[in-house]
Amino acid sequence: MTQTNTLRDIVDLPDEGITLSDGTRLSARIWRPTDADDDPVPVILEYLPYRKRDGTCARDALTHPYFAKRGYACLRVDIRGNGDSYGLMEDEYSEAELADAEEVIAWAAAQPWCNGRVGMMGISWGGFNGLQVAARQPEALKAIITLCSTVDRFADDIHYKGGCLLNENMGWGATMWSYSSRPPDPDLRDDWREMWLERLEAEPFLPVTWLGHQHRDAYWKHGSVCEDFSAIKAKVLAVGGWGDAYKNAVPQIVDAVPGAKGIVGPWVHKYPHFAVPEPRIGFLQEALRWWDQWLKDVDTGVEDDPDYRAYVMDGVRPATWYTERTGQWCTQDAGTCHTDPAQTGAGLTLHLGDAGLGSTPATQDRLVASPAHTGAAGGEYCAIWLGPEMPGDQRPDDALSTCWTSAPLADEARILGQPTLRLRLSSDQAQAQIAVRLCHVHPDGASTRITYGVLNLSHRDSAEHPEAMPVNTPVDVTIALDHIGYQVPAGHQLRVSISNAYWPLIWPSPNSGTITVHAGDIALPIAPPENTSVAFLPPEAEAPWNTETLREESHIRRSETDHVTGAVHLIIEDDFGEVRDLDHGLINGSIARERWTIHPDDPMCASGQCHWTDETRRNDSVLRTEAQCSMHSDASNFYLSAKLDAYENEKLIFTKDIKQQVPRQLL
């Protein structure tokens, strides 16, 4: 892992224009060697809607200058309609977004300071569109590094999971309602006010769009690279974290894309050179080896790296936040990472019986009838803001679920891969859902969630063509839980907990109902006990973002029960603080609030409200947006409303209200 580049002096260009074929000017921040005109370099593109001027600055400062000093031109481009770019955004991963990316790549490759080769790197949105653009095969794109991403937009994003509606569909939709409605920096654009008003007028409330596609139709197939992995010709390094929502893409990519490599650590939704929980790794050095190999033809040995390097976390007591996870790295070969242990016969299979989890197949009639608020210990769908977001002690949810617990394990269980649960069950409702948690039970009874899965039973055979459940008729279903690396110590126990509610992670079915489990088993992928030698360099990074803190950030998660009405509330308050950029003076701050309400006996009273406040200050201008939205439902429809207000120096200059009714379709 030797460093192959001599450090070069660089220039930081904060607002370079890239004019597209339709005349739209995108704004790019470019870090590149000062002598690149004489000694051209490859380009690394990160292409996002999250505002390079005041949104992704902290991680950009740590990352892009590092590569630039080692002989790369790093482009951080605002997607059209966001940040300091002109134009209007239609949706996530739209045809326009991906076509624009191809134009940006062609533009970059044609610059005199570029050697004609381009890589794409990004986390989350940038990881998604990196894969999607690679599948379009632009000529100059030779390699990508995708982090915390997905290959299937319907099955494994923030919208639906197992055919169930994730509340993150509205939660993240509220975030984008806020992000994309913010103004450009007035210091960069004389016409910033006109840009802002045009953006506000056109701003789509995307949860309505996403909720309009409740099955895996052509809308979701667009951009789902699993439709044709063979279309990806660029060399792919995929990175993820067990603390992240997107746990499944890395092993899928390693198995399906020839030559791809994968790394999964214990991290949440962050780049692994500054992510938590630790241990962090020298991600920038790993990325540099990838870029040097595929963009500079330097033999860095990456082709000889293990196909899949995954961190198996030691089983520990439950907590809503970890700063560190002890464990060990191990490796797997391509073709073995994303396999069903029930089909391969590898691993450990435990059967669900009246006595708990055991080695012998059994029949039974166990009822699952959970209160609608079951799931409160599940944590956030995607841990990202560094607050108390992880699943805590599962005992409260276990008490409201039907559980099967093993005897104390004679030997440690080193789980690495995707556990698979097979059930024979019946439902007294035509529309029903189940949530399955695999838990580690400690000797004193504490319960740590290892991994989980959910299933809308109408999607049991097909997410594209779902069918209602036959009432009170046994059917066979299979639930693939999320990939995980986790070691349960000898003497501890495993538990399968099943509920027919998982609030506030997923929206409830119209009626509570009852599910009867007649038989089942869970197949656990077990990694070999021997240690595998995997070594990463310690993390490196460039100097942090140069800011002055004007208001400290804080993160609150609070549960409340109204003892008069019986309603249960989850209140989330994320104050991201306020900072001044000491290089160019822009001040920005944000506060996000969410409230999720349900009654244990009435899933139809479920509701969610979100409210973002964003403020930008430049000289004497104070620009603020208030982005609010809410959702509730009945048995037939979802009801969404959204309001967007914009203020200039405390004067209301724009307001917009949206109200939309969306029919439920087997959801």
pLDDT digit string (tens) for 71-91?
999 999 999 999 999 999 999
CB atoms within 10 A of CB 445: 10
> Which pLDDT score is estimated for 408?
98
Question: Higher confidence at residue 345 or residue 273?
Answer: 273
Strands 327-332 and 308-314: antiparallel
- The one-letter amino acid at 564: V
Per-residue pLDDT tens digits for 27-54: 999 999 999 999 999 999 999 999 999 9
CB neighbour class for 74 (10 Å; exposed up to 12, middle 13-18, buried from 19): buried
> Which pLDDT score is estimated for 1?
34
- The one-letter amino acid at 420: T
- Tokens standing for 423? 């059930």
- For residues 408-435, average pLDDT: 97
CATH code for the domain defined by 10-153+222-332 = 3.40.50.1820
Q: How far is CA 370 from the centre of its chain?
A: 28
Residue 2 has pLDDT above 50, yes or no: no
CA distance 447 to 467: 35
- Closest alpha carbon to 600 in 396, 298, 405: 396
- The one-letter amino acid at 555: H
> Which pLDDT score is estimated for 585?
96
CA distance 626 to 197: 14
CA distance 496 to 434: 12
- Tokens standing for 600? 């244990």
- For residues 358-367, average pLDDT: 95
* Residues with Cβ within 8 Å of residue 315, at least 6 apart in sequence: 440, 448, 450, 486, 487, 488, 489, 492
> Which pLDDT score is estimated for 282?
98
Average pLDDT, the chain: 96
At residue 380, φ and ψ (nearest 5 deg) are -75, 150
* Residues with Cβ within 8 Å of residue 494, at least 6 apart in sequence: 350, 357, 405, 406, 409, 413, 438, 439, 440, 441, 488, 524
- Tokens standing for 527? 């990694």
> Which pLDDT score is estimated for 345?
65
Per-residue pLDDT tens digits for 486-539: 999 999 999 999 999 999 999 999 998 999 999 999 999 998 876 677 899 999
CB neighbour class for 576 (10 Å; exposed up to 12, middle 13-18, buried from 19): middle
- For residues 598-607, average pLDDT: 97
> Which pLDDT score is estimated for 615?
97
- For residues 313-319, average pLDDT: 97
* Greatest pairwise CA separation for the chain in angstroms: 76
Min mean pLDDT across 129-138, 144-153, 376-385, 419-428 is at: 376-385
CATH architecture under which domain 341-524 falls: Sandwich (2.60)
CA distance 152 to 252: 10
> Which pLDDT score is estimated for 3?
43
At residue 59, φ and ψ (nearest 5 deg) are -80, -30
- For residues 588-600, average pLDDT: 97
Query: Could you give the percent of the chain with pLDDT greater than 90?
Result: 94
Helix crossing, 57-69 with 283-295: angle to 10°?
Answer: 50
Three-class SS of 389-455: CCCCCCHHHHHCCEEEEECCCCCCEEEEECCEEEEEEEECCCCCEEEEEEEEECCCCCEEEEEEEEE
* Cβ atoms 66, 97 nearer than 8 A: no
Handedness of CA 182, 185, 186, 190 (dihedral sign): negative
CA distance 18 to 99: 14
* Residues with Cβ within 8 Å of residue 119, at least 6 apart in sequence: 42, 43, 44, 45, 141, 142, 143, 144, 145, 234, 290, 291, 294, 295
Residue 593 has pLDDT above 80, yes or no: yes
- Tokens standing for 300? 């860095």
> Which pLDDT score is estimated for 364?
94
Residue 4 has pLDDT above 60, yes or no: no
CA distance 514 to 173: 32
At residue 102, φ and ψ (nearest 5 deg) are -60, -40
Residue 12 has pLDDT above 70, yes or no: yes
Instruction: Map residue 593 onto helix, strand or coil.
Output: strand
Domain residue ranges of the chain, discontinuous segments joined by +: 10-153+222-332, 341-524
Per-residue pLDDT tens digits for 154-206: 999 999 999 999 999 999 999 999 999 999 999 999 999 999 999 999 999 99
- Closest alpha carbon to 26 in 95, 82, 105, 71: 82
- Tracing tokens 């994003």 back to the chain, one arrives at 157
User: What length is written for the chain?
Assistant: 667
CA distance 51 to 588: 11
Fold match flag (10-153+222-332 vs 341-524): no
Min mean pLDDT across 1-15, 56-70, 132-146, 608-622 is at: 1-15
Beta bridge partners of 327: 313
